[in-house]
Amino acid sequence: MAAQIASVTGAPHARVLGVGAYRPERIVPNADVIEAIDSSDEWIQQRSGIKSRRWAGPEESVQMMSVAASRLAIERSGLDAADIDCVVVATVSHLLQTPAVATAIAHELGTHAAAFDISAACSGFCHGISLASDFVRAGSARHVLVIGVERMTDILDLSDRGTAFIFGDGAGAAVVGPSDTPGIGPVVWGSDGEQFDLIRQREDWRDVVGTADSPGSGVMPHLVMEGNPVFRWASFAMAKIGTQALDKAGITLDDLDVFVPHQANMRIIDAMARSMKLPAHVRIARDVAEQGNTSAASVPLALERMMTEGDARSGDTALLIAFGAGLSYAAQVITVP
Ligand code: COA
């Protein structure tokens, strides 16, 4: 007979304990990006709702921004770094393929926590919240730090009309820990790999380097996107996912206080809100206007802004939904800490 292996169980429920953010110092208005892409402030605002974004300076690395956002999240959770026993970093713009930036972040924060990166592009933070909730409830970790961080400017071609005005840099972090009552609803997540090519790194590293017979491009493999199909997919398919997340959590539209969708484009946010028939009392995150699309950092940055500006209050019920390259998506209801 096989030896009996001991099993652990965790907390009855999980919740978000605190949220932190880091926004790079440099504010980049539309006026500063239009020349390279032959565009205008009016076009960008009309098509995307973006007025400005933040671009990281040389000192504002993925690690630096993550540590700053995390310190705030840990402090706001009433914890010390030593209390964190797992660090999950969602990012697509950490330029070292290995090791994970999460281990360096954990070290700088002062913990020997389990630490690893996940790659789910713009939806990575919501994937991370789901993992964290499961870890806490299964007993794999007690306090999980989930970070969404991007230095998109490292992987952008600033002369590409389809992407240069959209993306920005920044970091958001949340601590997930034990709770006596449910504070994170069931995740609704999935992927549509048939649309793998719609948003992606233009070429892989082998193509950049090349071979003796066929020289590589030698230039940074930047992000390319087919904006229009992504726009249509996000505006329609994602509203259904949001509604499913509410249903799974047993929440009606009347119970919902706050909607924090991925900050891709103001028109997508409005289309989703209409499609989901969100009542007027639901406060909607609109961080994209000042922050651009910060990929994995967008949901925590938007949530943090709402919390600090009083639009999301402790105890509020919030729907988070994020989607992007893959295509991949994840949504869940949380209680605002
Ligand atoms: N500045 C000015 N004009 C531009 C432009 C730019 N940066 N980019 C494209 N155009 C022009 C096109 O040439 C086209 O001109 P035409 O009508 O004379 O042919 C016109 O604007 C419309 O182009 P189109 O690509 O259809 O625009 P759009 O309405 O789809 O808006 C996006 C473009 C990128 C704003 C939009 O598709 C979008 O936001 N997509 C989702 C992107 C996103 O959020 N991705 C991340 C998801 S995680």
Beta-bridged to residue 145, according to DSSP, are 87, 175
**Global confidence as pTM:** 0.96
Nearest ligand 1 atom, CA 230: 41
Specify the pLDDT at position 218.
87
188-335 matches 13-179 in CATH topology:
yes
122 is catalytic: yes
Give 44 Cα–ligand 1 centroid separation in angstroms: 9
Give 125 Cα–ligand 1 centroid separation in angstroms: 26
Give yes or no for residue 326 having a pLDDT over 90: yes
Give 297 Cα–ligand 1 centroid separation in angstroms: 23
Give yes or no for residue 212 having a pLDDT over 90: no
Interval 9-63: pLDDT, tens: 999 999 999 999 999 999 999 999 999 999 999 999 999 999 999 999 999 999 9
Ligand 1 pocket mutation pick from 127, 155, 228 by most atoms within 8 angstroms of CB:
228
Name which of 196-200, 211-215, 254-258 the model is least confident about: 211-215
| Cα–Cα distance, 318 to 136 (Å, whole number) | 20
In contact, 269 and 119? CB cutoff 8 Å: no
Nearest ligand 1 atom, CA 323: 48
Q: Which own/partner contact pairs does 28-36 have at CB distance under 8 Å and 24+ positions apart? A: 28/52, 28/53, 28/54, 28/55, 28/168, 30/165, 33/158, 33/164, 33/165, 34/165, 36/158, 36/159, 36/164
Domain residue ranges of the chain, discontinuous segments joined by +: 13-179, 188-335
Which amino acids bring their CB within 6 angstroms of ligand 1? Answer: 37, 39, 43, 47-48, 122, 161-162, 165-166, 225, 227-228, 230-231, 234, 264-265, 293, 324
Give 175 Cα–ligand 1 centroid separation in angstroms: 36
Interval 149-176: pLDDT, tens: 999 999 999 999 999 999 999 999 999 9
Which residue among 122, 126, 143, 265 is the active-site one?
122
CATH superfamily placement of domain 13-179: Thiolase/Chalcone synthase (3.40.47.10)
Give 161 Cα–ligand 1 centroid separation in angstroms: 8
Give yes or no for residue 1 having a pLDDT over 90: no
| Cα–Cα distance, 46 to 302 (Å, whole number) | 21
Which of the four pLDDT bands, split at 50, 70 and 90, describes residue 124? Answer: very high
Interval 217-271: pLDDT, tens: 888 899 999 989 999 999 889 999 999 999 999 999 999 999 999 999 999 999 9
Give yes or no for residue 116 having a pLDDT over 90: yes
Give 162 Cα–ligand 1 centroid separation in angstroms: 6
Give the mean pLDDT of the chain. Answer: 96
| Cα–Cα distance, 202 to 225 (Å, whole number) | 9
Q: Show the tokens assigned to 124.
A: 């990575």
Specify the pLDDT at position 304.
98
Fold for the domain defined by 188-335? Peroxisomal Thiolase; Chain A, domain 1 (3.40.47)
* Backbone φ and ψ of 176, nearest 5°: -110, 130
Closest by Cα among 253, 254, 233 to 245: 253
Which residue among 94, 143, 222, 262 is the active-site one?
262
Which residue among 86, 94, 127, 293 is the active-site one?
293
Nearest ligand 1 atom, CA 295: 48
Ligand 1 pocket mutation pick from 231, 269, 288 by most atoms within 8 angstroms of CB:
231
Nearest ligand 1 atom, CA 47: 35
Specify the pLDDT at position 217.
87
